[in-house]
């Protein structure tokens, strides 16, 4: 194990700084390539995980908007619609910013939405107390609707 490789385990900040210095100096043979590759891979996973988390929250709130809003009393409906709208706006903005910062994630958007929906579906059920079968098994919102700042699903008026 090299000194630099040991630093990765014992002093991450110094390890990162040292690798950056080596890169700037063109001293590639001295780099801790194994750990650099691991870190780069983790960065990509982290970006996708961040996107999935934002989409989960966005989807859960859209589901609550569509399936629970009309079941609330007028007073709660007014409060929750303001709160939910703020969360929907915030998550849309963060998703858009994230996609702008990492445009490569756009090619994974449909897949990430499908993965996020599994968690959003359960989150919406848990938070509303509505049975899981209340919600569609598959995501009912295409990517363009999810990201459309003017899109809010029509409240479901069926009895649940």
| pLDDT per residue rounded down to tens, the chain (160 residues) | 788 889 899 999 999 999 999 999 999 999 999 999 998 888 888 899 999 999 999 999 999 988 886 666 555 555 556 788 899 999 999 999 999 999 999 999 999 999 999 999 999 999 988 899 989 999 999 999 999 999 999 875 454 4
- Domain match, 66 and 120 both: yes
Single pTM value for the model:
0.77
Is 160 within the bounds of a domain? Answer: no
Kindly provide the b/e burial profile for residues 71-99, where b requires at least 16 CB atoms within 10 angstroms of the residue's own CB.
beeeeeeeebbeebeebbeebbebbeebb
Is 153 within the bounds of a domain? Answer: no
Q: CB atoms < 10 A from the CB of 125, how many?
A: 19
74: helix, strand or coil: helix
Burial, 36: exposed, middle or buried (Cβ in 10 Å; 0-12, 13-18, 19+)?
Answer: middle
- Domain match, 55 and 26 both: no
Q: Which two tokens stand for residue 32?
A: 């801790």
Kindly list the distances between the CA atom of residue 55 and the CA atoms of 60, 96, 102, 104, 136, in Å, as whole numbers in the listed order: 8, 11, 15, 16, 16
Question: Which pLDDT score is estimated for 87?
Answer: 95
Is 158 within the bounds of a domain? Answer: no
Which residue range(s) make up the domain with 27?
A: 1-31
Is 118 within the bounds of a domain? Answer: yes
- Domain match, 62 and 106 both: yes
- Domain match, 56 and 118 both: yes
- Domain match, 63 and 142 both: yes
Number of domains the chain contains: 2
Query: 3-state DSSP: the chain helix, strand, coil percent, rounded to 5?
Result: 80, 0, 20
Is 152 within the bounds of a domain? Answer: no
């Amino acid at each position: 194990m090299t000194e630099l490789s040991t630093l990765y385990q014992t002093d991450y900040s110094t390890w990162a700084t040292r690798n950056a210095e080596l890169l700037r100096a063109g001293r590639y043979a001295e780099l801790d390539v194994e750990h650099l590759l691991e870190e780069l891979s983790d960065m990509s996973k982290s970006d996708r995980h961040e996107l999935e988390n934002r989409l989960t929250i966005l989807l859960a709130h859209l589901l609550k908007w569509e399936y629970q809003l009309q079941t609330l009393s007028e007073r709660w409906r007014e409060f929750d619609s303001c709160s939910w709208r703020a969360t929907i706006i915030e998550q849309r903005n963060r998703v858009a910013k994230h996609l702008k910062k990492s445009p490569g994630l756009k090619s994974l958007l449909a897949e990430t939405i499908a993965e996020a929906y599994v968690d959003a579906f359960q989150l919406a059920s848990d938070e509303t107390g509505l049975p899981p079968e209340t919600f569609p098994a598959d995501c009912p919102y295409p990517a363009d609707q999810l990201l459309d700042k003017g899109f809010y699903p029509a409240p479901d008026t069926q009895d649940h």
